[in-house]
Structure 1
């Protein structure tokens, strides 16, 4: 059995290679995100603590007001003991405005302390995620045997999925966002008894920030190519998908039965399935056969050739031209128009670039083997391009 296990080492080595591309990239991304969150949460908590120190005083009794009340009471008692009419002395009372200010101060401090608690919790959870990421990498590299490493990779990866670590990591920036929103709300409450104009400015700026946040949250749920996203985007996506499926089932059952049938819903907002993730929908729209995809492909190829300034960089691209245009059974048709567009594009002129690559082989500066390989690939590419006009 041990020999049979060892025979699969090469296969498991390939699994490790592929798993490392995804798992290590994911873990490194988590570590980078947590480092940024730790820095921001630390600075934000320090700033928030300064506001709390200033606002906390409003929860304590006003010592000046207490002194006035005590002096008035002493005067009242002295007047009564001397035989004067004590009814002429009345204890000062709090004004209604002062009572309402106390309620505002209480709400302000509650929101600020909650914001500080969320910020510190976010920093604490970020340190835990960094530790979990280090433990994951260490556990997958501690054994030299590829079979054992592969099984550890698989075991830990499915453990990450089982315990929903992705959701825990996504929760951390959500806590920080909630802390920021509470900070802005408490800032408005703090400025309310101070000055009406400053309060209105704070409300205006806070409303603008909230509107931007809501927009950035909703946009990726409507357009799969939108680069903006917040921690709540996934929640809105699931909610929107559920509503879309429910409406489609109730209003047009045939749409759900035949997904290839055209509907009145815009293509950018149609999910391929009711359980698809945002990444899956993005990949579906990116690879779907449309005129927009062909245009993107053409622009990408133009940019690629323009960026390959040196002949050494252009050579791998030239080697692939004959393969995409011709095979053993004859010509391919998929890339014909795209290669023609590269040949006639004024900023690319692919045929001229290939001729320059071919002439470079005659300079005597290249090793014989490299020059021969470059000549063959250039001639094959020029022949394939020439066959397009036949």
Structure 2
């Protein structure tokens, strides 16, 4: 028979059976577990062998000296014989107390002292236990090697798996782990016996030294008992002894060990539950203590890892944490943002890390680090919307919503401008990150002005000025003495507001740049100074300026509303111009949209802004676009259709109606068809006179802003107060919903 025929007739290899994949899964875990157990045993036995060898040598040295007290001393018989000879030679009658020579030479008449007998018994027992522990440790090492060799001795996976299971169950059946645990107990008992024998050995020599050693032995015994018991009551206690497991099982069987549950109650630990399992529960169960430990651990990591590589790795993890379902991890990120220490404050360090990317902007690591950092900043900004109340603010020293609550502000925007200039590949991430930071700044300005309005209205109604406003007012007077006259401050505010309005009307600059928010911040600060200076001034004079101040605050809110509309328009423009969508384009657009006030009862957006929206919508819905890749996803198109609620100019409404009508006729099967029909209905109502216009709201999105983070701002009762100005009724109540 030829060689080829033999190969064709040979039976298939048994380990090619597909079922071996099942056993491979088992072996991956079983072999790791076997190695972990045997390595642990080997380490313990090595330490026991070293200690047992040194200890046995020490005990042997003491036994050599003490066992002499157990046998007759020939030197005593010699002394008696010499004394007897001296008495007979000298006839000295004074030596009458000499024992008889026959008794001295009789070995059977020797009786050792009780202390010597007890001392030697204890020391010989100590030596025996020490040698037994050494022998047991040697045997355990041999058993461990045999066990590992037997479990890996076959090539076929299912044979190796079944042998491993068979032998592992043998370990459990014959209580191998208990035997390994008992070996250190032999050494501990041997050491205790040695100390007890040492006390008895020193008693005849010197009682003071004996009592000293007895006191040391007592303290050692008490400490040994304590370290054996403490882990059963304090699960995080690092101490323990071989007696700990015995003590643990006794207390568990009596149901004397209880632990707090995640619901706040207590429950006894099951009798068959090990201490290691309870420690795992205590470390991982949801609790306030666990969150505090997590926070301290990450703070330690950031504090002792000042290099940028560690922070870059942390930044790459942040987006997944924010988008995940672990709310404890989200809370951890929020607390790191609010940390006052610059070395551990996450917002400060991420901005600095982003700035460092500009050092070598051409390298691949700079691009990778830049994108990771921008993604982290985007995620954290989406998660940490400004809220009027936090446990970290100091309401007696500053307004409820302060710039200090924003971890990414104009400084971050300037850094992003530089990065976008020198690292063009990061432009999509720069665009989205700058947009959400800009929106957060607008939210902060809006909350700030609402807080000032609330204080002003409460003062006009009650005449009471809160203490924090008094402190802030004194601070404002101290720093604005040249302009403390309210009239001159109002004139300056009017000029700044006019400059900002001109910038918005002419579309000068970009809403993604820091310069726009520097101007808004300056106007916001001057409004705050004006309100505080007026409130702490003369009461009659203050009431004169209240209406003017409220009018300026109303104008500022209009500017903020216009800025938010321009911001989302600029973002849509970048979406249409770019060859690809920026980072998280849909969630960024939704964030900008949900924070935008489209209430048509307010002052309408500028005609130029409304025309831009119609133009962008036309580009987004154009069916014959020569660049199909520029078309927006359906979710963003829905948002663009929702922005039509802000269109009030009749000519713009007419153009929008034509665009949307054409889209509904041609794309009846498009996913955006229903949204387009609703937008068309809203436009039809806009074309009607205002007094008969139906109050329909196109609510495209009412879910959370991003990654299961829902932050709702409910306006207080003070904010819901209406006041009348020369421009008409103005409603101060607003509900910010994200």
State whether TM-score is above 0.5: yes
Measured in 2, the distance between the counterparts of 1:303 and 1:377 equals 22
The change in CA–CA distance for 1:66 and 1:388 in structure 2 (over 3 A counts) is same
Measured in 2, the distance between the counterparts of 1:200 and 1:218 equals 27
Return the structure number with greater helix share: 1
The change in CA–CA distance for 1:282 and 1:334 in structure 2 (over 3 A counts) is closer
Measured in 2, the distance between the counterparts of 1:29 and 1:159 equals 18
Q: Over aligned residues, Cα RMSD in angstroms?
A: 3.4
The change in CA–CA distance for 1:138 and 1:313 in structure 2 (over 3 A counts) is farther
**Partner of 1:102 in structure 2?**
113
Tell me if 1:8 matches 2:19.
Answer: yes
Asked if structure 1 preserves the Cα contact closer than 8 Å seen for 2:15 and 2:156, the reply is: no
Tell me if 1:212 matches 2:223.
Answer: yes
The change in CA–CA distance for 1:114 and 1:289 in structure 2 (over 3 A counts) is same
**Partner of 2:680 in structure 1?**
none
Asked if structure 2 preserves the Cα contact closer than 8 Å seen for 1:271 and 1:281, the reply is: no
Asked if structure 2 preserves the Cα contact closer than 8 Å seen for 1:217 and 1:228, the reply is: yes
The change in CA–CA distance for 1:8 and 1:383 in structure 2 (over 3 A counts) is farther
Measured in 1, the distance between the counterparts of 2:326 and 2:127 equals 63
Tell me if 1:315 matches 2:312.
Answer: yes
Tell me if 1:337 matches 2:334.
Answer: no
Tell me if 1:128 matches 2:124.
Answer: no
* 1:249-280: CA deviation from partner (whole Å, max 9, x where unpaired): xxxxxx9xx997846xxxxxx64312211111
- Count of residues in Structure 1 that have an aligned counterpart in Structure 2: 358
5+ residue gaps, structure 1, are 80-87, 249-254, 264-269
Tell me if 1:348 matches 2:359.
Answer: no
**Partner of 1:82 in structure 2?**
none
Looking at both structures, which has the greater relative contact order when contacts are Cα pairs under 8 Å and sequence separation is at least 6? 1
Asked if structure 2 preserves the Cα contact closer than 8 Å seen for 1:72 and 1:91, the reply is: no
The change in CA–CA distance for 1:377 and 1:168 in structure 2 (over 3 A counts) is same
Asked if structure 2 preserves the Cα contact closer than 8 Å seen for 1:101 and 1:193, the reply is: no
Report the Cα offset of residue 91 of structure 1: 4.0
Report the Cα offset of residue 107 of structure 1: 1.0
Report the Cα offset of residue 301 of structure 1: 1.9
The change in CA–CA distance for 1:361 and 1:90 in structure 2 (over 3 A counts) is closer
Asked if structure 2 preserves the Cα contact closer than 8 Å seen for 1:174 and 1:231, the reply is: yes
When normalised by structure 2's length, the TM-score is 0.44
* 1:287-314: CA deviation from partner (whole Å, max 9, x where unpaired): 2322211111111122233344444333
Tell me if 1:325 matches 2:325.
Answer: no
Residue from 222, 234, 258 that aligns with 2:233: 222
Residue from 34, 39, 42 that aligns with 1:28: 39
Report the Cα offset of residue 73 of structure 1: 8.2
The change in CA–CA distance for 1:19 and 1:373 in structure 2 (over 3 A counts) is farther
- Within 5 Å, give how 1:1-390 maps onto structure 2: 6-67=17-78, 91=99, 102-244=113-255, 262=265, 271-326=268-323, 333-345=327-339, 346=341, 347-359=343-355, 361=357, 363-364=360-361, 366-367=363-364, 373-390=368-385
Measured in 1, the distance between the counterparts of 2:179 and 2:363 equals 56
Report the Cα offset of residue 185 of structure 1: 0.4
Asked if structure 1 preserves the Cα contact closer than 8 Å seen for 2:150 and 2:163, the reply is: yes
**Partner of 2:621 in structure 1?**
none
Question: Considering only CA atoms, is the larger Rg found in Structure 1 or Structure 2?
Answer: 2
Measured in 1, the distance between the counterparts of 2:189 and 2:225 equals 13
Report the Cα offset of residue 202 of structure 1: 1.1
5+ residue gaps, structure 2, are 1-11, 90-95, 105-109, 386-738
Asked if structure 1 preserves the Cα contact closer than 8 Å seen for 2:357 and 2:369, the reply is: yes
Measured in 1, the distance between the counterparts of 2:302 and 2:130 equals 48
**Partner of 1:267 in structure 2?**
none
